Every structure is written in structure tokens, then in C-alpha cells.
Structure 1
Amino acid sequence: MDIFHEHVVADFVSQAQWNRWLLNQVLGPELVRQVVKVPPPSARSSDRMVWALTQDGSFSVSSAYSLVSQASNYLGYRVRLSVIVVLNRQRRRLITFFTRDLNKAVWSRFEVGLGDWTMVSMLRHMVLRWWLRKGHNVYLKFVYHMLPMLVCWELWKVRNKGIFYGRKVGWTEVADQVFQQLCDLLHCSFPEIACCFVSWDVLHASLVGLKRRVSILPISWSVPRTGFKLNSDGCARGNPSVSGGGGVVRDWEGRFIVGYSCFFGSLTSLHAELKAMLFGVRLCVARGFQELHVESDSFVLVQILQGTHGCPWRLQRVVDELLSVKPHFHEITHCCKEANKSADYLANLGANTEQDGVFDDFRALPVTVRGEITMDRLGFPNFRRKLL
């Protein structure tokens, strides 16, 4: 069809009918019905390719494999058969990889009360035995999780050196390299450990001797510098499952202005956080609140709105709606959940009651929320307790 005829046809049919006719030229009827059900993207965002099987819309081999494994045609069967053969070969390599004398010697060097080796037949068993160990302090837990990965990595490098360069490495050299990397990672993660460890036995004994400490950190809600502050929160019983949202708006003196709770149905936790914030911002805009400071305890959501974190493609439309009213709030920040308790309670209220509500009167709020708001205004902190 030439350009002239396109303009003629467009004069007699609606844009939706014209788009449907174009889709019918390249897609089957069922696919066309599915496509037209999807609302078009907002004008402020450009089109992009999306791999629908992943959360962020980016292609991944694991999602492609899951798709292929569900296929029932001959090609899918051949692909699955090939994958099974490859996996079996890798499994035999792992077993051989683990049972060699050098590997046993390296693993034995770091053995600490794990019991009889005769019950361990695969690399996976040994790694799981380390990961499932319970350390009575954060340092031991770190070591028990990091050590098997370091051992596997160093043994893998030894295997490659032998195959590609013909170089043989003794088990003591491998064990020393594992120990050195473990010490470096331990010092980087816990700078308070300043002493140098001369051997694995000394390191482990020193960490076992450390008593478990309790860290108590006071966390306070802060008033906005000017204007109003919106604290929002979302909750979901699962991912996805029953969800709700809530929020509280206060002025520069900490005085209550308005609160809300919402029921969203079945959503993911991030989606609930996003919708709760959007509801609160729209409520503030409708009531003419200027210089709005938005605060959330969802670090990922704050990063998405600040443009430093990718947005899951399924939530892009809601993010675009929120960004369209961004000129109405001058700041968005992250806060700890201990400084967001009033919004958290209202979010759970919406999920539990399955109802929406807006609270204009402070006395209409649940008593727990009134208590949290009063304590925030007086400057009393909540406390975060962490075992070290």
C-alpha cells in the first residue's frame, strides 16, 4: 500500500482500527488479541526490547533454559537431552575433582570438627557442610561461608594450570593461597580485626574465642527542612501475595497533616512500595502541599527514582506515573525502617482490613500510629538491635 492510500484509509477508520489492521498483517488473530489488550507506554518513555521471562527485562541463559525445558517438541527434547549429557559430564568431573589426593589434602587442611570424611562423596556435600555450620559470632559465620568458595576457586585454578600449562602445584601452596585470601577478605569486611594470623589454626581459635557482641543503634525520624514530609511504606505477605500501603504526611514541626492506608490485592513487595508512594504523592498534590520531601525505607525504590538502579520492566508504567509528578517533590531519601514505623503500621492495616482509608483527623488514627507520631515529634528514637 503506498503513502497516498494509507492516508485515505486512515481518514475512514480510527487509529485503533488502523493499528489492529497493521498487526493483522504480521501476527495471527490470537496474538493480535493479546497485543491490543496491552495499554500503550506513556509518552515520556521510549520503547525498549524486553525479555519477559526475567524481572529486569534483560536476557539470561537460565530463563532461556527454563523455557526450553518446558518445550514438548522434538527440538526441545534434543536440547534437553544435550543439556543432561553435559550436566552428567560436569557431575563426573566434579566428583573426580573432589576425590583427587591434592584436593583432599587442601580440604583436610581447613577441617575443624566436621566429622567423618567417609560420609562425603561429592564436592557439593563438602560445601554444604561448611555453609550449614553455625558460628556463634558474625566473624565465624563469614569464614564458614567464604572458605569453601575460596577453596573451590583455587583448586579450579590449579586444575587449569595443569591442563593448559602442564604445571603441577603442591597442596601446601594452594592452602596458603586460600588462607591469605581469607585473611584479606576478613580484614576488609571487619576492619576492627587488626591482628595478623600466622595460620589457619590460630585464626580459627581466635575467632572462636571472640564473644558475641550486641550492637544497639538509636534511629530517629527527622523533620523536613521546609515544607512537608511524606513517609510511605508498602507490604506484601508473599512475593507476590496480599499487599497494602500506607503513609503519613507531617510538616516542618513534626505535626500530623494527613495519613492513609490502602489495599492493593496481590502484588510484589516492591510494587506495593511503589503504589503506596504514588498514592501519597497524588494525595499531597491534590491538597496543594508544596515543597514535598518523600521518604521510604525501600532502598531499591529510592535508587530507581534517583536513576541509579534499573527498574523491573513490569513496574515501568507505575514508575513513569510517579516521575510525572516528581516536580511536586524536591527531595526523595531513604530511611531505616525504625524511622518509618507509623507508615509501616498503616500499610499492614490496609493489607489486613482489605480497605482503603484517609485519616484527616489525628484522633481517627489507630492508637499505635498516634503513639509513634507523638514519639517522633518529641525526638525519641527507636532502637535497632543487631547481634555481632
Structure 2
Amino acid sequence: MGDGQKILFWTDKWLMGNVLSTVTPTEIPEDILGLTAGELWIDGVGWDLTKIAPYVSANTQLELSAVVVVDRVTGRTDKMAWGETSDGRFTVSSAYRFLSRDLFSRPDMSKLFRSIWRVVAPERVRVFFWLLGNNRIMTNQERFHRHIGDTELCQICKADIESTLHILRDCSAMSGIWERVVPREKHQVFFNMSLLEWLFVNLVDSSMTEFGPWSTLFAVAVKCKEDGEGAVGREERLISWLPPLIGWTKLNTDGASHGNPGLATAGGALRDGEGKWCGGFALNIGRCTAPMAELWGLYYGLCIAWEKGFTRLEVEVDSSLVVVNMCIGRLIVLQMDWQTMHFP
């Protein structure tokens, strides 16, 4: 979503995940059916609910409250995004998975299970891989689908759905380890395989490392990750507010979601080097995930800082997801002439 001038609010599939006209409880009048998202947005107010509320459910209104037509300032326009990846970028592998989703039955698992029982590793490691191959690991995604959990999100990185593959490979708590262990030339293949492909390819890899066969190293590393869940020792840290550098202003923001996704709020405060109050905000967002609430807090904080003329800004947030995306430039949507700094 950019300025909302190209997206048809009711008939396009955009940030809401569904075509709104297909889930409305009542028929939408022809005179508003062709309106764009930008035409239903009021600057400084939000969505024009007088034209929207009569045709959508209360839950949809809450979800809309957490979506903003971001950019009437920097001139950004609406862009197409690929819905089968988390970052909206098209990949051949995601297209193949999408096209073949309903074409093939469950693959022949005999080769995978043979590789599991042949790997040189302790018996409990082999049993764990047998459970993996049979999709018997109780992840948050599985708990949510069985209605015994209230969220699918990973509670370590809070950045993605906690699937089996996310726990063992893609979570920030594990991906950094794999990046150091796996040779750089193999990263692209290693991090883009499906779960069953990933297990099979690595379990049949007999190449030698300084610690022995790769298949053994891989199997033990995966099992150690599973054994280490919840075993992290407690670390006590004293939390206090530290003033910014002289001439700078500090922005502290936070966001939370009850249910994740659920009703969400965000807030923030601006203070100078002496700790004096320079401004702040608190808002009810609507219905969204915890990471989205954190991003809302940062977005509003930056907007208020700019409006008040604070162009030399230190930002403190407690979300590693926000920090990572800020550092790689994914969240820099306010192209203003200000100075920022990052303390890793």
C-alpha cells in the first residue's frame, strides 16, 4: 500500500488478505464499489467509516483500523506483491509450491526414513527425526490449528509463524548458527528447501567436516536445538533509561497485542538529554499482531518527532524484528532529512 490510488478497496485483494466484497454481510452499492482505498481515506482521521461501516463486520473494522494508507507525503505509490512469500517478493520455489499444492499426493517417505535410520547418531536423535518426518512436533502452529493455543507466532523472534522448519532453521535464534556452520556457497539451497527436502538432503550428505560426516553433525545440531528449547539460563539485567547524546532527542516506543493477533495498542515518549518530556502518544490500533503493533509505535513516534522538529533522534525499541528491519532499510518509509544512529 502506497498512496492507495490504484487499489480498489472493495474488489482488489490487498492488505486485508481477502477481497472485501466477498466477505461483506450486505450488498455494496454500485456508487462506492469502484472506489479506491485512497478515496476512502481521510488524512488526519483514518478510514471514512461512514462509507465502510454499514457493509463490513465489527471484526473487519478492527482489522482496518490497523491498516494505514501510509504515504501521502513522500509520493510512494501502490505496488504489486507476491502473496506466497512473507516479504512479497516472487521466487521460483514459492511459485512451484503454489502450483503443485493440490497436484501431488503425499510423497514417498521410504527414502527419507531409510536415511534417518542409517545416519550415524544416537538412537534418540534418530527417533526425533522420525517424529519430524511424521509431522509429530507440537509447534505453536500445530497448537493453534488444534485450538489449544491462542497464537501461531514464534515467541522467541515474534517475526513469523512457528512451524517445525521455523524452529529448526529459519528462526533468528537458529539461522545465525546455520550461517556459520554451513558453507557460504550452500546457503541459498540450504535456506530455501521445504522441510522434507531439507531433512533428506542433509541426512544423505556424507561429506566430511572437521567434526565427522556432515549428516551426523547436522542430525546432532538439530536435536540439540530441540533439547535446548526452554533451557536457556535466566539472566538478570537492570533496566534503566539512558539519556541521549548532547543535542540529540531519544524516542522510546512499544506496542502490544492481546491475542497476537488481537486488540492492539502502542505508545511512545520523546525526551531530551536531561530527561525532560518533549512529547508522546498512546493509541488504540485495532486488531493486528504484536510485531505490527511495534511497527505502529515506531511509525507514530517518528511522525511526531518530525512534526516537533527533532531531526537528531535516538530510537529505543524492545523488538529485535523492528531493529533488524530498520538496519537493513526495509522500514525507512519516511524519507526526511534527519540523522539517526544505531547502537548494536
Task: Sort the TM-score into its range (normalised by shorter chain).
Answer: 0.3 to 0.5
What is the TM-score when the length of structure 1 is the normalising length? 0.43
Higher relative contact order (CA 8 A, sep 6+): 1
Q: Looking at CA atoms only, which structure, 1 or 2, has the larger radius of gyration?
A: 1
